[in-house]
A and B are shown apart, each in its own frame.
Chain A
Amino acid sequence: MSEITLFYAKFVLLIGVYALLGLLIRALIKDIPMPSKTSEPLASPVSSLPSPDSSGWWLSVLQGQERLEGRDLELREELLLGRAPECRVVVNDPFASARHARLVPRGAGVWLEDLGSTNGTFLGAEAVQGGVLLNEGGRFSIGDVTFELVRRGNA
């Protein structure tokens, strides 16, 4: 190879390297609109619409999960909270365990039971040990999601 081709060869290489970076950045930009993969948090939102004459306990999300906020859920029977899809309330929080806690309505109150979750269910700053009976307005949190128990209707 002559001196002059050698001189230009280095520019060819630099152009090649930058073309490559361009390709990689283009592939990176294509990915930028991140697909939102949040699954529907409530298993059956239709049944959760409050009907005026129903009585009993309702679960509402105070903060932490936009998709659940304002969509109260009636506690007719035992209700499972956790990250697993089979839970009635799917808590999409990194600190939630698959089967995190359960709620059982018991007339005068609601029994909250921690199902051996890794990070605990909290009443304020205190972790629930085993189970606890909550009254109206009782608040508990799983991860960064805070729930409140509300009593509605005329029961």
Chain B
Amino acid sequence: MKRRELGLLAAVLAVVGLALALASRAPEFKGGAPWGWFTAQVAAWLGIALALRLKRIQGDPLLMPLACLLSGMGWVMVWRLNPDLGERQAIWILVGLLAYAITALTIRDYRNLEHYKYVCLVCGVVLQVSVMLFGTEINGARLWFRVGSFQFQPVEVVKILMILFLAAFLRRYGRWMRIGLLSREGRLPRRALMLLGVGWLAAEGVLILQKDLGMALLFMGIFLTMFYMATGRTDLVVVAGFLFVIGAVGGLLAFPHVRIRVYAWLDPFADSQNTGYQMSQALFSLAWGGLFGTGLGMGEPTRVPEAATDFAFVALAEELGFLGAVAILVAFMLLVTRAFRVAMRARCEFGTLLAGGLAVLIAWQSLILIAGTIKLIPMTGITLPFVSYGGSSMLASFVMLALLRRISSQEEGPC
């Protein structure tokens, strides 16, 4: 089982090395390929896999190789687009791996996390409110804390805290919400449901006020899917879905910045030099890539604004082609499949809901972002887990991976 993990990791790292060698042909690559950073990553991945094996922390052997493939290809692309960002991304991957190792090694029993559900809730609310009050404003949205030259986006941590809270809360009350809410016995579930509903609306309201529309959509997706997983109530999910549609239409009418996004999505070429510029460039970039791509380092993905963060998938699609883009999608699909498998095999319901929530998070986040970059839905500014540039997102992704690993390693134990 474990031998397979190391072997797969080595194979993945070999392909990433090949990609790096090819990408080094790009004109942006001044001073040759960053083999030093690459070696550091190889050492970190293999070292941590080996350390977990020596510590006898079993677990799903495919999680790490899949994350390594995504983060490796993402890093090569970010470096190819902008070596300065690439260097930071390498640091963030190493920090993320450290966080992964620490989380996987220190959490003795993930079920203890259930006791901290209200701590998670309070931490999440405090982080989100404080960034509203004291955060730094970038591109008209106040979502970041700035420390020196590094920026930190607390919502990336908040989403994990929210999943922890929801898993614990729904484990406690989800069962009661399954039964009739109108009966006399429905008093407690009604109250829990009301609490949950008010909290959900408040969270959505805060995210929309912060102009973090991608995160609002993502949070909606996670909430409804986890709620459905815990209660199996289609009726309430449909009601909440309707509320979201009403909210979305309301947001469209009320906020000009939402309208700009939607118009840029409906017809990017109507204003292709201004509001539709990014989307038009992304479409040209995708078209230029064709089936096999231009080859790494041979295209011009730097023409797309924000190519390293929001449009990393488009940059990969241009240089690796449709086939490469599909490969990235398949890698995400496999990762989500494995996460759901962890959820299904978890010995207790908290583990099932937690792993399921993390699976849903990865699935929704990658789908919302990729669909946004290829003009299936309006573009929203969230990151692609493991792939696009962003320190907080990278760190959060690795912590999620560690939680999944920990849950899967406890499949055998008692519960």
Contacts and interface: CB of A to CB of B under 8 A. Distances in A.
B334 A11 contact: no
Nearest to A30: B4
A14 B22 contact: no
A14 B352 contact: no
A125 B179 contact: yes
A103 B183 CA distance: 29
B69 A20 contact: yes
B334 A28 contact: yes
Contact of B292 (A10, A18, A27, A37): A10
A9 interface: yes
B206 interface: no
A108 interface: no
Contacts, number: 85
A49 interface: no
A20 B345 contact: no
Interface string A81-110: 001110000000011000000000000000
A35 to B, nearest CB: 10
Interface stretch (B60-68, B85-93, B241-249, B364-372): B60-68
B15 A20 contact: yes
B321 A14 contact: yes
Interface in B232-255: none
A13 B341 CA distance: 30
Contact of B330 (A21, A34, A94, A118): A21
A25 interface: yes
Given A23-B11, A95-B175, A125-B183, A14 B324 contact: yes
B183 A94 contact: no
Interface in B1-23: 4, 8, 11-12, 14-15, 18-19, 22
Interface string A1-32: 10000110111111011101101110110010
A6 B298 contact: yes
A111 to B, nearest CB: 24
A44 interface: no
A10 B22 contact: yes
Contacts of A125: 179, 183, 185
B337 A28 contact: yes
B320 interface: yes
Interface of B: 4, 8, 11-12, 14-15, 18-19, 22, 25, 61-62, 65-66, 69, 73, 172, 175, 179, 183, 185, 292-296, 298, 320-321, 323-324, 327, 330-331, 334, 337-338, 341, 345, 348-349, 352, 411-412, 414-415
Interface of A: 1, 6-7, 9-14, 16-18, 20-21, 23-25, 27-28, 31, 34, 37, 83-85, 94-95, 118-119, 125-126
Given A10-B293, A14-B324, 13 more contacts: A10-B320, A13-B22, A18-B323, A20-B11, A23-B8, A24-B8, A24-B65, A27-B62, A31-B341, A95-B349, A118-B172, A125-B179, A126-B185
Pick the 8 closest A-B CB pairs, nearest first.
Answer: A10-B295, A94-B349, A16-B15, A17-B327, A125-B185, A20-B15, A14-B323, A9-B22
